[in-house]
Chains A and B, each alone.
Chain A
C-alpha cells in the first residue's frame, strides 16, 4: 500500500481539507472576502463530490479505518451536498465577521462527517466525532456579539465533551472485552460470548455519545439552546449533516459491530442487547420531544424539540435491526436533513427581515412572501408526515420495516407510539403554518404590508430544497432504491 494509493482513496477528504486551507488564505488577500471564500468553498465541495464518484467500488484499508463502499460513497455525497447548501445559506447572511474562518470551520466539520461515514473502526470513528464536534462547538459560538450564541456554544461544548468521554470509556471497555477496534473483528469476537455486565456497560456507554449527537432524549438538553442561539447556518448544519453522519455510523456500529448482541425489543419478548436500549431511547425521545414541542412559541426551539422526536422515529428503524430497517432509517434521516436545511433557510430570511424567529415574526408571511411561505409549508408538512411529501413516505417505510422485523408484530408498540407522536406533532406544525397563512402580520414587523426582501440566492436554495422534498415524496424510489442497493 503506497501513499499514493491511500491518497487516491482519501481524495475527497483531501480535497475538502485543501479547500479549507485555500479559503483561509483567500480571506486574507481577497477584496470581497465573503463572496470569494464562499465561492471557493462551494467549488471545493463540488470537486469533492466529483472525486467521490471516481472512488473504486469496494476497498477496505487498515482493518476498516478507511472503507470505500457504495454506502459510504453515497453518504459522503449526501454530507457534501448538505455542506454545500449550508454554505449557500451562509452566503446570504449579511456580512459575517470572519467569513474565511467560518467557512473553513464548516469545511473541517465536513471532513469530520466524511471520516465518520467512511470508517468502520472505533478509534477512527472517535477521531471523526471529535473533529466534527470541535468544529461545531466553534460554529455554534461564532457570533461573538450575541449572548445566545455564546450560550449555545458553551452548552453544546459541555454536553458534547462529557458524552465524548462516556463514548471513549465505552470503546475502551469494548476493546477490553473483544481485543479489537475494527467493527468486523468485534463482531466475530462477540459472537462467541454472551452478554456480560461489563459488555452491557460498554455498549450503553458507547451509545451515549451517539445519542448526544442525534439529540435523542434524555441526551437532548443541548439541542434547544443550540438550535435557537447558534447562527442560523451553524444550526442548520448541526441539525442536518451532523445528524445524518451520526446515524450512518451508529447504524454501522450496532448492525455490524454489535450484531451478535442484538437482543430484542418485542413487547412480550425483551431480550438484553442493544436494541432494547435503542427502543427505550426512541420511545423516550418521541414522547418528550413531541410533548415539549407543543409548548414552544419560538420556531427554532420548536424545530429543536421536534428534532428530538424525529431522532426517536429514526431509531425505530435501527431497532428493527435488519437491512430494510437500516435503509428506512437512512432514508428518513436524509429527508429530514434536507427538510431542516430548508426550514432554517426560511427562518434565516425571516430573522434578517424581522429580527427574530418567534411565531409572531412569522405571522402573515404568506402575504409578504408567498414563495417562502409555500416552501415553509412544504417543510413543515413533510416533517408532520403529510403526503405527497418525502416525510410521509419516510414514515411509512420506517414503520412498515419495523412491523416486518419482529415476528407477530413485536414492535407494534413502538410503531403505535410513533404514530401517536406524529399525530401530536401535526398540531404544532400546523400552529407554525397558522401563523404564516392565517394570521395577519403583527406589529413586530416594521412594514407589515410590504413585500419581504430576501436574497435571491437564498430564495433559490430554499426553493430547490422544497422541490427536492416534494420530488422525494412523489418519487421516493430515486433515493430509496439507491440506499437499499448500497446496503450489503
Chain B
C-alpha cells in the first residue's frame, strides 16, 4: 500500500492540449501557482463549514438556528462558486488530490479528498439546493434546532461523498447521510411519514449492504482504498463480472433504479419540503455519482459486460415511472415518480459508455438537482403549506393561478424545465444523453423519446390540474363556494425567502439551459480521463 504521500498536482500537466487551453484562457504560463493550490483546497471547507454549522445549530439557542443554517449553506455555495470560477478548466480534468492525511495507516485508510470537473459540478448543485432548501424551510418552528442539524448533516455528507477519493471515506459519508434522512422524515414529515421514512432508510441501507461487499472486495483484491490507485489496478475479469453488478446495484438503489425505486415516491411524499428537495435534489445523485466514480471506474470490464442491462433497466425506469406518474392523484407522488423517470436518463447516459452520454448524465444530475428542488418547493411549500392538500382533484377547484400568481409562474418554469423545453437545463442534458445513446443503443433512444412525451404529458396534467383547474367542472354550486371560500386573501402571500429561493433555482436552470457549455466544458475533460471509456 505504498502511496506517494505528496499532494499530487502533476497529473493534469500531462496533456499539452490542456496546457494550451489554459494559456488561452489566462494568457500566462499554466504553472500551478500556490494561489491555485490554495484555491483548490478551499473546496474541502464546504464539508467542515457545513458540519460545523450543524454542531453550532445544536448548541445555540433557537433563534439562531435558521440563520446559522443559512450562513453555513451560503458559505458552502460561495466556496463552490469561487472554486468553479477560479480554477482553470485544465485542472479539472483529473481527480486532483486536495487533502491527504493518514487516517488508519494499518489498514491503508487516508483522509483523502480530491476534485475534478464532475465532482465540482456536484458540489455546486449541492450548494444551490442546500441554500434554497434552507430558504424554503424558513418557517419551520417545530424542533427547529434538531431540524436544521439533520439537514446540515445531510448536506455535509453529500459534499463529503462528492469530494472523497478514498473508498472507505466515501462509504463513511455515503452511509452517514442515511440516518438523518430517517429523522427528517419521521419527525417532520407529513403523509404516512413513519412508513415512508422506514422504507426509505431500509432501502438505502439495503443498497449500502451491497456497496459494502463491493468495496471490501475491491479493497481486498486491489490492496488499496485509494480511488486513484484502484482505478489503475487491473482486477481479474472474473472478479469484475460479479463485483461490478453488486457494487453498481448497491449504489443504484439510491439513484432510484427500476425496480428498486419504490422507496423514492413514498419517501418524497412523506418527507417535509426540505427533505424532498434534498432527497430528490442531491441524495439520489449520491447513488449515481458513486456508481460512476467507483463502480464504473474500478471495474471497467464488468461495466462493459453489464452496460446493456443497465440501459434496459434505465429505459424501463424512464417509461414506467412516467406512466405511473400519469395516474397519480397526489402532486408530490407525481413529482416523486418524475424524479425516478429523470434519474433513468442519468443511468441511460452512463450505460452509453461514451464521453458524450456520460457527460450528459452528469449534466442531467445537476439539472435534475435544481429542477426537482424547484418542483418540490412549489408542491410542498407554496401549495401544501397554504392549501393543506396535495390532491390534484381538490387543487383543481381552487383556482390557484389567481390566488398565487408567483407560485403558478414558478411551477410553469419548473414544469417547462422538467419537460425538457429548449432553453432550460433539462433539455440540454437530455439531448446530450440521447445523442450519446444514439451511437450505442438507437432503440433505447426511441423508447426514451416516447418517455419524454409521457413526461410532458404528466407534467402538463399536473400543471393544469393544480394551477389552471376548471372551476366549473363540478357544476355551478361548487364553483360559487370555491370562489367565495378561496379568494386571493385566504392564502398567506409567498414570503421573501421563498421568492429568493425560487428565483435562484429558476435562474440556475435557465443559465445552464442557455449556456450548457459552462458546465460541459468542465465535465467532459474529467469524463474523458475516466478508465471505462478506453
Question: In the assembled complex, which residues on chain B have CB atoms less than 8 Å from the CB atom of A476?
Answer: 104
Decide if A415 touches B172 in the complex (CB within 8 Å): no
Shortest Cβ distance from B220 into A: residue: A403
Report if A351 contacts B (CB, 8 A). no
Report if B202 contacts A (CB, 8 A). yes
Question: In the assembled complex, which residues on chain B have CB atoms less than 8 Å from the CB atom of A403?
Answer: 216-217, 219-220
Q: Which of B171, B202, B209 has the most CB of A within 10 A?
A: B209
Decide if B182 touches A392 in the complex (CB within 8 Å): no
* B176 CB, nearest partner CB in chain A, Å: 5
Shortest Cβ distance from A427 into B: residue: B202
Decide if A430 touches B198 in the complex (CB within 8 Å): yes
Docked pose: A75 CA to B413 CA in angstroms: 64
Report if A189 contacts B (CB, 8 A). no
Docked pose: A103 CA to B217 CA in angstroms: 48
Chain A 366-414 residues near chain B, CB threshold 8 A: 366, 381, 386-388, 392-393, 396-397, 399-400, 403-404, 409, 412
* A303 CB, nearest partner CB in chain B, Å: 19
Decide if B186 touches A419 in the complex (CB within 8 Å): no
Decide if A480 touches B106 in the complex (CB within 8 Å): yes
Decide if B209 touches A399 in the complex (CB within 8 Å): no
Partner of B179, one of A381, A438, A481, A484: A381
Report if A434 contacts B (CB, 8 A). yes
Shortest Cβ distance from B219 into A: residue: A400
Decide if A419 touches B209 in the complex (CB within 8 Å): yes
Report if B406 contacts A (CB, 8 A). no
Decide if A388 touches B194 in the complex (CB within 8 Å): no
Partner of B187, one of A404, A422, A438, A477: A438
Docked pose: A230 CA to B220 CA in angstroms: 43
Question: In the assembled complex, which residues on chain B have CB atoms less than 8 Å from the CB atom of A396?
Answer: 168, 171, 212, 216
Decide if A388 touches B172 in the complex (CB within 8 Å): yes
Given contacts A409-B217, A480-B104, whether A399 and B212 have CB atoms under 8 Å apart is yes
Decide if B176 touches A430 in the complex (CB within 8 Å): no
The 8 A CB mask of A430-455 against B (1 = contact, 0 = none) is: 10011001100000000000000000
Decide if B220 touches A400 in the complex (CB within 8 Å): yes
Decide if B205 touches A397 in the complex (CB within 8 Å): no
The 8 A CB mask of A449-488 against B (1 = contact, 0 = none) is: 0000000000000000000000000001100110010000
* A294 CB, nearest partner CB in chain B, Å: 12
Partner of B213, one of A416, A481, A484: A416
Shortest Cβ distance from A387 into B: residue: B172
Docked pose: A480 CA to B107 CA in angstroms: 10
* A486 CB, nearest partner CB in chain B, Å: 13
Question: In the assembled complex, which residues on chain B have CB atoms less than 8 Å from the CB atom of A381?
Answer: 179
Given contacts A420-B209, A426-B205, A484-B106, whether A386 and B216 have CB atoms under 8 Å apart is no
* A416 CB, nearest partner CB in chain B, Å: 6
Report if A54 contacts B (CB, 8 A). no
Report if B105 contacts A (CB, 8 A). yes
The 8 A CB mask of B184-227 against A (1 = contact, 0 = none) is: 00110000001000100110011011001100110110000000
Instruction: Tally A residues with Cβ within 8 Å of B.
Output: 33
Decide if B186 touches A437 in the complex (CB within 8 Å): yes
Shortest Cβ distance from B206 into A: residue: A423
Question: In the assembled complex, which residues on chain A have CB atoms less than 8 Å from the CB atom of B176?
Answer: 386-388
> Looking at chain B, what size class is its interface with the partner chain?
20 to 34
Decide if A437 touches B187 in the complex (CB within 8 Å): yes
Q: Which of A387, A403, A422 has the most CB of B within 10 A?
A: A387
Decide if B187 touches A419 in the complex (CB within 8 Å): no
Decide if B220 touches A409 in the complex (CB within 8 Å): yes
Shortest Cβ distance from B104 into A: residue: A477
Report if B391 contacts A (CB, 8 A). no
Decide if B198 touches A400 in the complex (CB within 8 Å): no
* A49 CB, nearest partner CB in chain B, Å: 25
Question: In the assembled complex, which residues on chain B have CB atoms less than 8 Å from the CB atom of A477?
Answer: 103-106
Shortest Cβ distance from A425 into B: residue: B205
Docked pose: A309 CA to B220 CA in angstroms: 25
Given contacts A480-B106, A481-B106, whether A386 and B186 have CB atoms under 8 Å apart is no
Question: In the assembled complex, which residues on chain A have CB atoms less than 8 Å from the CB atom of B205?
Answer: 423, 426
Decide if A415 touches B105 in the complex (CB within 8 Å): no
Decide if A426 touches B175 in the complex (CB within 8 Å): no
* A437 CB, nearest partner CB in chain B, Å: 6
Report if B159 contacts A (CB, 8 A). no
Chain B 103-121 residues near chain A, CB threshold 8 A: 103-107
Decide if A400 touches B107 in the complex (CB within 8 Å): yes
Decide if B220 touches A392 in the complex (CB within 8 Å): no
Docked pose: A344 CA to B179 CA in angstroms: 22
Report if B178 contacts A (CB, 8 A). yes
Question: In the assembled complex, which residues on chain A have CB atoms less than 8 Å from the CB atom of B168?
Answer: 396
Question: In the assembled complex, which residues on chain B have CB atoms less than 8 Å from the CB atom of A420?
Answer: 209
* A149 CB, nearest partner CB in chain B, Å: 35
Question: In the assembled complex, which residues on chain B have CB atoms less than 8 Å from the CB atom of A434?
Answer: 186, 194, 198
Question: In the assembled complex, which residues on chain A have CB atoms less than 8 Å from the CB atom of B175?
Answer: 386-387, 392
Chain B 160-185 residues near chain A, CB threshold 8 A: 168, 171-173, 175-176, 178-179, 182-183
Given contacts A423-B209, A430-B201, whether A400 and B216 have CB atoms under 8 Å apart is yes
* A45 CB, nearest partner CB in chain B, Å: 30
* B252 CB, nearest partner CB in chain A, Å: 17
* A408 CB, nearest partner CB in chain B, Å: 10
* B50 CB, nearest partner CB in chain A, Å: 14
Question: In the assembled complex, which residues on chain B have CB atoms less than 8 Å from the CB atom of A392?
Answer: 172, 175
Docked pose: A427 CA to B205 CA in angstroms: 10
Partner of A415, one of B107, B146, B202, B213: B213
Question: In the assembled complex, which residues on chain A have CB atoms less than 8 Å from the CB atom of B187?
Answer: 437-438
Shortest Cβ distance from A405 into B: residue: B220
Decide if A386 touches B209 in the complex (CB within 8 Å): no
Question: In the assembled complex, which residues on chain A have CB atoms less than 8 Å from the CB atom of B202?
Answer: 423, 426-427
Decide if A419 touches B212 in the complex (CB within 8 Å): yes
Docked pose: A409 CA to B217 CA in angstroms: 8
Docked pose: A475 CA to B60 CA in angstroms: 26
Docked pose: A427 CA to B212 CA in angstroms: 18
Question: In the assembled complex, which residues on chain B have CB atoms less than 8 Å from the CB atom of A426?
Answer: 201-202, 205
Q: Which of B105, B107, B219 has the most CB of A within 10 A?
A: B107
Docked pose: A477 CA to B186 CA in angstroms: 35
Shortest Cβ distance from B211 into A: residue: A419
Docked pose: A204 CA to B497 CA in angstroms: 69
Docked pose: A438 CA to B189 CA in angstroms: 11
Shortest Cβ distance from B169 into A: residue: A387
Shortest Cβ distance from A473 into B: residue: B172
Decide if A438 touches B194 in the complex (CB within 8 Å): yes
The 8 A CB mask of B84-115 against A (1 = contact, 0 = none) is: 00000000000000000001111100000000
* B214 CB, nearest partner CB in chain A, Å: 11
* B31 CB, nearest partner CB in chain A, Å: 37
Question: In the assembled complex, which residues on chain B have CB atoms less than 8 Å from the CB atom of A423?
Answer: 202, 205-206, 208-209
Q: Which of B104, B175, B202 has the most CB of A within 10 A?
A: B104
* A370 CB, nearest partner CB in chain B, Å: 9
Docked pose: A476 CA to B173 CA in angstroms: 16
Shortest Cβ distance from A478 into B: residue: B104
Docked pose: A386 CA to B209 CA in angstroms: 12
* A387 CB, nearest partner CB in chain B, Å: 4
The 8 A CB mask of B230-265 against A (1 = contact, 0 = none) is: 000000000000000000000000000000000000
30 sampled A-B residue pairs with Cβ under 8 A: A366-B146, A386-B175, A387-B173, A388-B176, A392-B172, A396-B171, A396-B212, A397-B107, A399-B212, A400-B107, A400-B216, A400-B219, A403-B220, A419-B212, A419-B213, A423-B202, A423-B208, A426-B205, A427-B198, A427-B202, A430-B201, A434-B194, A437-B183, A437-B186, A477-B103, A477-B105, A477-B106, A480-B106, A481-B104, A484-B106
The 6 A-B pairs at the shortest CB distance, nearest first, are namely A387-B172, A403-B220, A438-B186, A419-B209, A423-B209, A477-B104
Residues of B within 8 A of A (CB): 103-107, 146, 168, 171-173, 175-176, 178-179, 182-183, 186-187, 194, 198, 201-202, 205-206, 208-209, 212-213, 216-217, 219-220
14 extra A-B contacts, CB within 8 A, seeds A392-B172, A433-B182, A438-B186: A381-B179, A386-B176, A392-B175, A393-B104, A396-B212, A396-B216, A397-B107, A400-B107, A403-B217, A409-B217, A423-B206, A427-B202, A430-B201, A480-B106
